[in-house]
């Protein structure tokens, strides 16, 4: 932070190295494994770079970064939501290559989970991801989303209800997969 | 399974499946893209800053130029009936006294000065010293340049000219001098040496042809080309063109002539595109195997595709 504030050479690279993994992970969880994930990361860092001068207390860097990443994710989700309503974009989630890591079973569970999340509105989806995937507490989640604590609670509760409905509609999460579409076995 | 447990499992599945970082290579690419982006984001701002500063500077100079604009001098003439002398009084406070019998005229009035042509006689000049003052007295082939001083100029019937400085500093030039004569001591005087009268030729004497006189050592082609280049780069395009045309007339259509033609083409590109195209065309027509032929043809095709030389240039490039 000091290097960034003093405009030291290499400060931008240091900032990127320090924060990119976290930001990328959050955007990926919030928006799914989309083709434009790299663009979202760049967008987020540009916003961060332009506004970091406004951060008075370096101790609050984490919350500041979260807020910017959430804002970036929200914009992307809203655009995608509108495109889907207007039937411009019918893809549920644009999956990219090895979108998820872990065992085949874990990956398949993640795919189904991502499809479920895709049935949520942007605001509910973000609330759900911050609370249950990023495991933020209620206060941190509210700050990251830029809403009051009670609003965040309401959104999380609404997201949970919606997820429950969607999971009931979907087939049960697979516990084993015997054949992988790409030819990869278990 | 309870709903809360399912949600917990879902969150865990998503968390675990997205825990892995990208490869180092991908990270470095992304970092490079980010650094490039912020560099690009800065650049337009600095460009706008430069343009803004330039505009402000231009405006300031324009305002200063308007406020500090100098006016062309004016002058009045008064003849003293008793002595027969004449005084010219200029609007900047400068004065020129013409002695009786002197013949002079003001040939130019300009900002900060005047040019006086002295045909004969004696001038007593007082120039009010001011910044940017520029006064000149022409006496035959001699020019006396002054910025603020008091001095005398006298021109006799022949070529003799005398300049004496009483205050300040003057420069005396004539075409035969490589450097001007500087007079800066009160009372310092410069007098031209009268040219000796040639003795009448003896009817039986045979005159030998005189060798050509040159004050400077002969200059090489490269040096002369360099002179033209200096003139071009310092914005004296007319002088550069004159020097190049002079060189071209002496070196014709050979390899050196082609070099000169190429430089003429480059010099005239913006002001006279047709002429420039013609000079470029001369390069590859006269020296088709020369080192500049292809460059000249390419210049025509790239810069003057509509010119009458374009077809010839394309044919040349196709053939070579």
pLDDT in tens, B222-268: 888 888 877 777 677 788 888 888 888 888 888 888 889 998 988 88
CB A74 within 8 A of CB A99: no
- Is A113's CB within 8 Å of B3's CB? no
What are the CA-CA distances from residue A10 to residues A7, A41, A71, A75, B31 (Å)?
9, 19, 26, 29, 11
| Local structure of B102: helix, strand or coil | coil
Interface pTM (ipTM) of the complex?
0.75
pLDDT in tens, A65-122: 889 999 999 998 888 888 777 766 544 444 444 556 666 666 777 777 888 888 888 9
Q: How big is chain A, counted in residues?
A: 186
Query: Secondary structure of A12-27 in the HEC alphabet?
Result: HHHHHHHHHHHHHHHH
**Residues of chain B contacting A33 with CB distance shorter than 8 Å:** 18
Distance to chain A for B47, nearest Cα, Å: 18
Whether chain A has a CB inside 8 Å of the CB on B41: the answer is yes
Question: Which residues are within 8 A (CB) of A163 and not within 5 positions of it... i.e. 6 or more apart?
Answer: A116, A117, A120, A128, B7, B10
For residues B22 and A23, what is the distance between their CA atoms, to the nearest angstrom?
12
Distance to chain B for A164, nearest Cα, Å: 6
pLDDT in tens, B132-141: 777 888 887 7
pTM of the model: 0.42
B124: number of Cβ within 10 Å: 19
pLDDT in tens, B3-58: 788 888 888 888 887 776 677 788 888 888 888 887 765 554 556 667 778 888 88
Residue whose token pair is 């004449």 = B86
Q: At what angle do helices A61-85 and A138-145 cross, to 10 degrees?
A: 60
What are the CA-CA distances from residue A51 to residues A54, A70, A164, B102, B296 (Å)?
6, 15, 38, 81, 53
What are the CA-CA distances from residue A89 to residues A79, A92, A94, A97, A111 (Å)?
10, 8, 10, 20, 19
For residues A3 and B77, what is the distance between their CA atoms, to the nearest angstrom?
75
Whether chain A has a CB inside 8 Å of the CB on B28: the answer is no
B-chain residue closest to A159, CA distance: B7
Which candidate from A107, A116, A135 shows the least CB-CB separation from B17?
A: A107
Q: At what angle do helices A149-169 and B3-17 cross, to 10 degrees?
A: 90
| Local structure of A154: helix, strand or coil | helix
For residues B120 and B277, what is the distance between their CA atoms, to the nearest angstrom?
52
What pLDDT shows up at residue B48? Answer: 64
Q: Which of B134, B100, B138 is nearest to B119 (CA)?
A: B138
- Is B41's CB within 8 Å of A167's CB? no
Q: At what angle do helices B310-319 and B293-303 cross, to 10 degrees?
A: 130
Give me A4's structure tokens.
């960034």
Whether chain A has a CB inside 8 Å of the CB on B11: the answer is yes
For residues B6 and B8, what is the distance between their CA atoms, to the nearest angstrom?
5
Question: Which residues are within 8 A (CB) of B293 and not within 5 positions of it... i.e. 6 or more apart?
Answer: B258, B283, B284, B287, B316, B320
Whether chain B has a CB inside 8 Å of the CB on A41: the answer is yes
Q: Average model confidence (pLDDT) for chain B?
A: 78
Give me B154's structure tokens.
């006298």
Whether chain A has a CB inside 8 Å of the CB on B33: the answer is yes
Q: Which of B138, B133, B128 is nearest to B161 (CA)?
A: B138
Mean of the pLDDT values across residues B280-295?
A: 88
- Is B18's CB within 8 Å of A100's CB? yes
pLDDT-based confidence at residue B147 (cuts at 50, 70, 90): low
| Local structure of B124: helix, strand or coil | strand
- Is B34's CB within 8 Å of A160's CB? no
Mean of the pLDDT values across residues B204-227?
A: 61
More confident residue, B64 or A51: A51
CA end-to-end span of chain B: 83
Q: Is the pLDDT of residue B198 over 60?
A: no
């Amino acid at each position: 932070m000091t290097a960034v504030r003093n405009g030291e050479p290499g400060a931008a690279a240091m900032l990127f190295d320090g924060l990119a993994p976290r930001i990328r992970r959050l955007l990926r969880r919030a928006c799914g494994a989309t083709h434009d994930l790299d663009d979202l990361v760049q967008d987020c860092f540009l916003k961060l770079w332009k506004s970091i001068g406004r951060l008075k207390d370096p101790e609050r860097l984490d919350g500041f970064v979260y807020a910017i990443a959430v804002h970036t994710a929200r914009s992307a989700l809203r655009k995608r939501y509108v495109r889907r309503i207007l039937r411009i974009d019918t893809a549920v989630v644009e999956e990219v290559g090895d979108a998820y890591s872990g065992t085949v079973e874990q990956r398949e569970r993640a795919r189904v989970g991502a499809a479920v999340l895709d049935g949520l509105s942007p605001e509910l989806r973000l609330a759900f991801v911050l609370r249950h995937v990023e495991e933020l507490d209620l206060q941190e989640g509210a700050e990251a989303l830029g809403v009051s604590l009670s609003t965040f609670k309401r959104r999380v509760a609404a997201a949970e209800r919606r997820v429950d409905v969607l999971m009931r509609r979907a087939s049960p999460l697979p516990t084993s997969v015997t054949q992988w579409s790409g030819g990869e076995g278990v | 399974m309870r709903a809360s447990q399912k949600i917990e499992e879902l969150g865990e599945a998503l968390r675990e499946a997205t825990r892995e970082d990208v490869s180092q290579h991908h990270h470095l690419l992304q970092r490079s893209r980010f650094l490039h982006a912020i560099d690009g984001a800065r650049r337009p701002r600095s460009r706008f800053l430069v343009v803004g500063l330039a505009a402000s500077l231009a405006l300031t100079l324009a305002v200063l130029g308007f406020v500090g604009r100098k006016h062309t001098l004016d002058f009045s003439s008064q003849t003293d009936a008793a002595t027969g002398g004449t005084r010219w009084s200029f609007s900047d406070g400068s004065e020129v006294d013409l002695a009786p019998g002197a013949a002079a005229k003001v040939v130019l009035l300009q900002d900060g000065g005047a040019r006086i042509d002295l045909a004969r006689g004696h001038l007593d000049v007082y120039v009010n010293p001011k910044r940017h003052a520029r006064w000149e007295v022409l006496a035959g082939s001699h020019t006396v340049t002054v910025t603020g001083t008091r001095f005398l100029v006298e021109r006799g019937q022949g070529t003799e000219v005398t300049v004496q400085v009483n205050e300040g500093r003057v420069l005396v030039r004539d075409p035969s001098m490589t450097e001007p004569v500087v007079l800066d001591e009160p009372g310092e005087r410069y007098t031209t040496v009268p040219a000796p009268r040639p003795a009448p030729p003896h009817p039986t004497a045979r005159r030998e042809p005189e060798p050509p006189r040159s004050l400077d050592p002969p200059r090489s082609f490269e040096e002369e080309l360099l002179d033209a280049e200096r003139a071009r780069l310092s914005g004296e395009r007319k002088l550069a063109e004159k020097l190049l045309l002079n060189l071209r007339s002496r070196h014709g259509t050979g390899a050196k002539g082609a070099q000169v033609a190429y430089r003429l083409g480059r010099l005239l590109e913006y002001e006279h595109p047709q002429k420039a195209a013609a000079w470029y065309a001369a390069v590859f027509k006269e020296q088709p195997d020369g080192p500049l032929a292809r460059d000249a043809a390419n210049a025509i095709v790239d810069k003057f595709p509509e010119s009458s030389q374009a077809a010839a240039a394309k044919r040349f490039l196709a053939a070579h």
